[in-house]
Amino acid sequence: MEQYVIKGGNPLVGEVEIGGAKNAALAILAAATMTDETVLIENMPDVRDTNILLQAIKSIGAIVERIDRHTVKINGSQISHLIIADDYVKKIRASYYLIGALLGKYKSAKVALPGGCNIGSRPIDQHIKGWKALGATVKIEHGLIITEAEKLSGSHIYMDVVSVGATINVMMSAVMAEGRTIIENAAKEPHVVDVANFLNSMGANIKGAGTDVIRIKGTARLHGTEYTIIPDQIEAGTFMFAAAATKGDVMVKNVIPKHLESISAKLAEIGCEIEESDDAVRVVASKPLNHTQVKTLPYPGFPTDMQPQMVVALALARGASIVTESIFENRFKYVDEMTRMGADIKVEGNTAFINGVEKYTGAGIVAPDLRAGAALVLAGLAAEGITTVDDIKYIERGYEDFHIKLQSLGAVMERVDSERELQKFKLKIG
């Protein structure tokens, strides 16, 4: 029973440091196997997902050396087999990046079909379409995606839907294909740019990452590099909304404010004060929050990964708000948990209709996935009384030291793993 226990009602105040971007790290760790030379990666978040992926990389023969919590050396010269076992893949979706990396380098890969959070169907048809266009055969047998190619040749690929995973995966394979590849309708997210910058630092030739057309000139081999991962836009956004929901004042440090523009704009719209500097954003929520409308969109629009945190803030705002989810269809599963805390939210299809309430009240709730889990913690921090959050393994997939960082801002919460510890907490806070 690992859970968070929270006594809500305290505004969060202070400064918090943001770690490296999980979604960038997962792709960069996979891409690090594409050279036989040593790659040093810094600012890697120490979370469950990155640790599982490092185990998967190790399992195929790569040398993985943890220098410290946030620094790792990877050398892919000893990779001996190209099959990634089920155990790793079931736990994290991003293991599919190893297909793109291994297919590029070895022209072959076998990886089990991916797992991860259940937030809706995330088909890999665009990935497969891209690999086929580069000249690979792709089969799905016995739960494995089997990709093989005599050689990979550059191609003109149009993505039918904007997909971060497919853009990154196809980009990785195309880096080591012969000739030129153009990816149209590419995803523009910051972590796509980060992976492209990382590959370029290894000797790849990628232009246009961050726009909807990426141009790649293939290269025969890549070399070692040292690289620092960008800060995590979603972790930063979560702490920005934590300030809004608890009527707090939080300085979020070590961020790239440009990546947070859509989040900052919405927070300003609902009545928060936003102060930006070179590498920090301060959110002050001294006034009651106002209602608004939000629709999740691919970057630079409002991120789907911030939708639950936004809903937690809006359900405490004055008036009626509407949130439309246009990326994943199962993204409102957490609303039932919020209803138990007194929120007034109705979900119809991919839209949530929210009537703001005065306050939440503490309850026993369960995290359904990573981002919704983090959002429910914010609801617990804003609530009156005691909230327990179960299934925190989801939250720990993508947030490093989440409860410790929140405690440093004044949150009264603990991570407990027994009934005794829970009772102890309740006695302590009386």
Whether residues 39 and 176 share a domain: the answer is yes
Whether residues 244 and 332 share a domain: the answer is yes
- Highest mean pLDDT, choosing among 92-101, 382-391, 421-430: 382-391
Rounded average pLDDT over 180-188: 98
Whether residues 90 and 224 share a domain: the answer is yes
Task: Choose one of 228, 262, 282: the last residue of a domain.
Answer: 228
Active site members: 117
Whether residues 240 and 364 share a domain: the answer is yes
Whether residues 250 and 376 share a domain: the answer is yes
Q: Check residue 90 and give its pLDDT.
A: 75
pLDDT above 80 (res 120): no
Q: Check residue 2 and give its pLDDT.
A: 95
Whether residues 183 and 76 share a domain: the answer is yes
Per-residue pLDDT tens over the stretch 213-272: 999 999 999 999 999 999 999 999 999 999 999 999 999 999 999 999 999 999 999 999
Let me know: does 321 contact 291? Beta carbons within 8 Å.
Answer: yes
Whether residues 197 and 284 share a domain: the answer is no
Whether residues 146 and 120 share a domain: the answer is yes
Task: Choose one of 180, 198, 228: the last residue of a domain.
Answer: 228
pLDDT above 90 (res 118): no
Q: What is the dihedral of CA 80, 224, 128, 396, to 10 degrees?
A: 90
Task: Choose one of 210, 228, 246: the last residue of a domain.
Answer: 228
Let me know: does 409 contact 19? Beta carbons within 8 Å.
Answer: no
Question: What burial class does residue 333 get, using C-beta atoms within 10 Å of its C-beta: 0-12 exposed, 13-18 middle, 19+ buried?
Answer: middle
Per-residue pLDDT tens over the stretch 265-323: 999 999 999 999 999 999 999 999 999 999 999 999 999 999 999 999 999 999 999 99
Q: Check residue 403 and give its pLDDT.
A: 98
Q: Check residue 116 and give its pLDDT.
A: 65
Whether residues 125 and 237 share a domain: the answer is no
pLDDT above 60 (res 119): no
Q: Check residue 122 and give its pLDDT.
A: 63
Number of structural domains found in the chain: 2
pLDDT above 70 (res 121): no
- Domain containing 281 equals 3-19+231-429
Q: What is the CATH number of the domain that holds 167?
A: 3.65.10.10
CB-CB neighbours of 172 under 10 Å: 28
- pTM, two decimals, is 0.96
Q: Whole-number mean pLDDT of the chain?
A: 95
Whether residues 50 and 188 share a domain: the answer is yes
Whether residues 361 and 379 share a domain: the answer is yes
